[in-house]
Amino acid sequence: MYVIVGLGNPGKKYEHTRHNVGFDVVDVLSQKYDIPIHRLRCKASVGEGVIRGQKVALCLPQTFMNLSGESVVQLDLPEGKLRFRPSGSAGTHNGMRNIIYLLGRDNFPRVRVGIGRPPEGWDMKDWVLAGYNTPELRRTMFDAYMGAADVIAELIEKGVEPARQLVGKLNG
């Protein structure tokens, strides 16, 4: 079984913000593969189903990530760009750092969606908690969520290298 975890914060205040990109990607998977996320297990909202012939659990943690400074997210990806890594460190992402610490390993794949950098003078916390203020940016991010969902499905069905190749195609 594959466990797919979207990182974000629970609650209406955080819905569809840069901070909750992970939740939005898991929501796309939930809708695309008809996997309702409605059970509370292990401090997460969970849905179980099948993606491309493989059993999966889609998880939305109901615990909060650390919101302090640049350690909230890694911002080296432009808005809407995807990155796939088969394993590796947490970098500056405290949520990922906590996952690696508690699992005792970092050898699991992860898909990242770029949220860009805050404009000059913006506080990092305000940036990650802001929504997408133009139709073009909303479309860019929606396309990125759909692409990330496709990368995850590709990983499940075909493995690491095909997932990596798909990211390259999607990023153009």
pLDDT in tens, 23-81: 999 999 999 999 999 998 878 899 999 999 999 999 988 887 653 222 223 355 788 99
Q: What percent of the chain has pLDDT over 70?
A: 92
Q: Which CATH superfamily is 2-171 part of?
A: Peptidyl-tRNA hydrolase (3.40.50.1470)
pLDDT at 137 > cutoff 50 = yes
Chain segment 69-107, per-residue pLDDT in tens: 222 233 557 889 998 889 988 776 777 888 888 778 888
Give residue 113's pLDDT band: very low, low, confident or very high (50, 70, 90). very high
pLDDT of residue 92: 67
pTM exceeds 0.75, yes or no: yes
Q: What is the pLDDT of residue 65?
A: 67
Q: Where are the beta strands (DSSP E) in the chain?
A: 2-5, 39-41, 44-51, 54-61, 82-85, 110-113
Of all residues in the chain, the percent with pLDDT exceeding 90 is 50
| Biggest CA pair distance of the chain | 48
- Annotated catalytic, 19? yes
Q: Angle at CA 63, nearest 5°, toward 152 and 82?
A: 25
Model confidence at 164, in pLDDT bands (50, 70, 90)? very high
**Mean pLDDT calculated for residue range 141-157:** 97
Predicted pLDDT at 68: 25
Q: What angle do CA 3, 102, 155 make, to 5 degrees?
A: 25
Q: What angle do CA 114, 115, 117 make, to 5 degrees?
A: 115
Instruction: Identify any residues that bridge with 46 across adjacent strands, giving them in sequence order.
Output: 39, 59
